[in-house]
Amino acid sequence: GGQHRIAVIAGDGIGQEVVPEGLRALEMAAKRFDIDLAFTEFDWGCGHYERHGRMMPEDGIDRLASFDAIFLGAVGWPTVPDHVSLWGLLIPIRRRFEQYVNLRPVRLFEGVPCPLAGKKPGDIDFLIVRENVEGEYSEIGGRLYAGTEREMAVQESIFTRFGVDRILRYAFELARSRPKRHLTSATKSNGIIHTMPFWDERVKAMATAYPDVRLDQYHIDILTAHFVRCPERFDVVVGSNLFGDILSDLGPAVTGTIGIAPSANLNPERRWPSMFEPVHGSAPDIAGQGIANPIGQIWSGAMLLDHLGYPEAGAAIVAAIERILKSGRVLTRDMGGSASTEEQGKAIAAEI
Amino acid sequence: GGQHRIAVIAGDGIGQEVVPEGLRALEMAAKRFDIDLAFTEFDWGCGHYERHGRMMPEDGIDRLASFDAIFLGAVGWPTVPDHVSLWGLLIPIRRRFEQYVNLRPVRLFEGVPCPLAGKKPGDIDFLIVRENVEGEYSEIGGRLYAGTEREMAVQESIFTRFGVDRILRYAFELARSRPKRHLTSATKSNGIIHTMPFWDERVKAMATAYPDVRLDQYHIDILTAHFVRCPERFDVVVGSNLFGDILSDLGPAVTGTIGIAPSANLNPERRWPSMFEPVHGSAPDIAGQGIANPIGQIWSGAMLLDHLGYPEAGAAIVAAIERILKSGRVLTRDMGGSASTEEQGKAIAAEI
Ligand SMILES: CC(C)[C@H](C(=O)O)[C@@H](O)C(=O)O
Ligand SMILES: CC(C)[C@H](C(=O)O)[C@@H](O)C(=O)O
């Protein structure tokens, strides 16, 4: 109960086009389930960078801290180097608000053409649990002999027992809560010899507390092959920041389009706001045409409601997505149709 | 001309089963094209580790140095931790012999069931060029507060201008030599902010010397999605040690099975022996059953002949593989048939 304050950052490119559809669905669900949501929009992103030399104001993080959740579109535009834009907005939010879980569902819906031969809706339905604040994404590193023939760049990956254990615990608990009770862990211990064997050790240590969870461990290279060859085998998949990132684009591609994939950047302790955003980026190649798929954004809204304590409202949004896709009436171009972003969004909102 | 001395390391698991078939094909091609090959076998691997506490003798690298090429099966067995076995045999060979190019063809053959809907043989035919001696695979790193609650593991990635430029130059030259003249570079510059933007810079610098090569640059996450959604778009794909590793398992999975995928670890300057090995590993799950696909090993033999200066002999092996697959007569289990490793190997040898 009570009012929930949501910070909205549409961001760049198609973020501007899909966020309004996400809000449309959220408002519809709020009305139907009598939830009090108050939205505050922030015009941060690459436009803000061009005007002010920063992706968000200096006190941006502080201003977000009192919200109950953040609803984000996409960040990045060709006018600003990607490492500058992302590390100026998206990544600081994940870190400062200890959103150490990035939860990304992967599901094959009826009505969405699947690139794999012979797969049926229901065959593919798993969750990726991505470590979201440490690991390979690290500010530590730099250059030696910059600008000369001897130039080199070094990059540190850092995995802490604290950081690895908390994401593994989340993943084991999640696996335990599902009917299949199956967890797959991704590493690359034969190649990346300091951090990855450490992750494997922590998996082994934690597994003793979850004898009821069936555990598989794969190297990331062969795991990407299994995603294509037998995606139906997976239930909960846990990986580092980088491996989770890769698997959560590959998984949705296998189900037809990354345009529908949502994500929840969670601070499970609820000390800070969590953030909900589609898996896709700002897509400069199609931005401004009104053809982007808004479903990743809308489904992220469903995860937001879930997190705020309204699982029925979240489920109603997902059910509406499911029915609209199944009907085949309204599909954006990436799903083989010709609907606009707005048509797709309105059809789903009406169905809620 | 002259005699060519080949070091043979069958290694572990199915390496023991597929190497004899690789040798059968090599011997057949040598006979037909009148090539003088002399094989010397080394029983190195995890068995050697169990007996002597090392994957190969202390002077192993020195003993290999005078050979003209190395023909390797697979390394790794559950009795030895992967980072110990691989860094005790495979990876030192790549490094000490400056095999900085790992070349991995990906091709959809007629007769091999493709997991993707609607793809025809010929649609998928590209080359992965993987940086093979630096980058994310680094010995530098370790632990702090080992064994305590505060434990952490750190891992350094190191990219040198020398190392990046030489692999990019190889990739650009290779792209230039092919009809499509198309090069795709994989990075993750929005997440891995020190090393990956450096790679992108070097790509940009080198591209000015190759205005005739069409260049695409993708982040690794969306690139894995494109491998599934539109593999026909690729021609030459270049990536770091880790990204090349991932893409070269995913690519073959998209063409049906990683059992057929070969690789050439090349020292292009020919100062040291190059090494030829299948992309797959030792596969403990199917080892000892005689059902492994030997084609990755046989095709690696074709790349070996190519490298030694016998492109026609190499092409004859690939053509034999192609005809046998197309006939559908003899297919191992991973390709939907029931042939044994030996039957598959003999059929191809007879066809050469
Ligand atoms: C076994 C392993 C160390 C190796 C690698 O990662 O290089 C393998 O996956 C490969 O692709 O050759
Ligand atoms: C934009 C980029 C930094 C980001 C990431 O790698 O985390 C994105 O790919 C994602 O998956 O959320």
Tokens at residue B236, please?
């030459």
User: What is the mean predicted confidence (pLDDT) over A257-263?
Assistant: 97
Give one DSSP letter per residue of B46-77, joined into a string: HHHHHHHSSSS-TTHHHHHHTSSEEEEEE---
Q: How far apart are CA A58 and CA A63, in angstroms?
A: 10
| Contact assessment for residue A88 and residue B193, using Cβ atoms and an 8 Å cutoff | no
Would you call A338 exposed, middle or buried from its count of C-beta atoms within 10 A (0-12, 13-18, 19+)? exposed
Residue pair B232/B106 in contact (Cβ under 8 Å)? The answer is no
Q: Encode pLDDT of A141-195 as tens digits.
A: 999 999 999 999 999 999 999 999 999 999 999 999 999 999 999 999 999 999 9
According to the model, what pLDDT value does residue B105 have?
A: 98
CA distance A81 to A65: 27
Probe site for chain A from B114, B124, B151, B263 (most A CB atoms < 10 A): B151
- Which of A77, A112, A154 is the best residue to mutate to test the B interface, defined by the most B CB atoms within 10 Å of its own CB? A154
Residue B352 to residue B347: CA distance in whole angstroms: 9
Nearest to B242 by CA among A191, A246, A241, A223: A191
Residue B142: domain span: 125-254
What lines the ligand 2 site, CB under 6 Å? A 86, 90, 245, 279, 281; B 190-191, 221
Q: Is residue B113 part of a domain?
A: no
Identify whether B110 is part of a domain: no
Q: Is the pTM of this model over 0.85?
A: yes
Residue ending a domain, among B209, B225, B254, is B254
Q: What is the pLDDT averaged over residues A81-102?
A: 97
What is the domain-level CATH number for residue B199?
Answer: 3.40.718.10
Whether A117 maps to a domain, the answer reads no
**A268-296: average pLDDT:** 97
Residue B115 lies in a domain: no
Q: How far is A4 from chain B (nearest CA, A)?
A: 31
CA B55 to ligand 2 center in whole angstroms: 39
CB within 8 Å of B184: residues ≥ 6 apart: B215, B216, B217, B218, B223, B234, B235, B236, B237, B238
Whether residue B268 sits in one domain with residue B221: no
Query: Taking a C-beta distance cutoff of 8 angstroms, is the pair A133, A99 a contact?
Result: yes
Residue segments in chain B with a per-residue pLDDT below the cut of 70: none
pLDDT digits (tens, 9 = 90+) for A333-352: 999 999 999 999 999 999 99
Query: In Å, how far are B6, B44, B165, B241 from B90, measured between CA atoms?
Result: 16, 11, 24, 14
Residue at B39 is within a domain: yes
Mean pLDDT of A312-318: 98
Are residues A293 and A242 part of one domain? no
Write down which residue in B230, B254, B278 finishes a domain: B254
Determine which residue's CA is closest to atom 9 belonging to ligand 1.
Answer: B245
Share of chain A above pLDDT 90, in %: 99
HSE toward the beta carbon, residue B302, CA cutoff 13 A: 26
Q: What pLDDT shows up at residue A327?
A: 96
**Tokens 């922590």 appear where?**
A202
Domain total for chain B?
Answer: 2
Locus of tokens 């891992």: B155
Task: Identify the pLDDT of residue A36.
Answer: 98
C-beta atoms of B158 and A141 within 8 A = no
- Which residues of chain A does B252 touch, with a Cβ-Cβ cutoff of 8 Å? 225
Domain finish residue from A230, A254, A278: A254
How far is it, in rounded angstroms, from Cα B84 to Cα B91?
10
Q: Which residue has the higher pLDDT, A122 or A290?
A: A290
Same domain, A236 and A323: no
Please check whether residues A283 and A323 belong to one and the same domain: yes
Domain co-membership, A12 together with A60: yes
A88 and A136: one domain? Answer: no
Same domain, A184 and A133: yes
Chain-wide mean pLDDT for chain A? 97
Q: Are residues B282 and B323 in the same domain?
A: yes
> A247 and A148, same structural domain?
yes
Residues of B in contact with A87 (CB under 8 A): 193
Q: What per-residue confidence (pLDDT) applies to A1? A: 73
CA distance readout (Å), A122 to A322, B1, B104, B219? 12, 59, 35, 29
Same domain for A69 and A148, yes or no, is no
Asked if B194 and A142 come within 8 Å (Cβ–Cβ), the reply is yes
Sign, CA dihedral B12-B14-B15-B16, equals positive
Same domain, A8 and A75: yes
- For residues B321 and B349, what is the distance between their CA atoms, to the nearest angstrom? 9
Residue at B118 is within a domain: no
A281 and A245 in a common domain: no
Convert the pLDDT of each residue in A39-57 to its tens digit: 999 999 999 999 999 999 9
Environment class of residue A118 by beta-carbon count within 10 Å: exposed (0-12), middle (13-18) or buried (19+)?
exposed
On whether residue A56 sits in a domain, the answer given is: yes
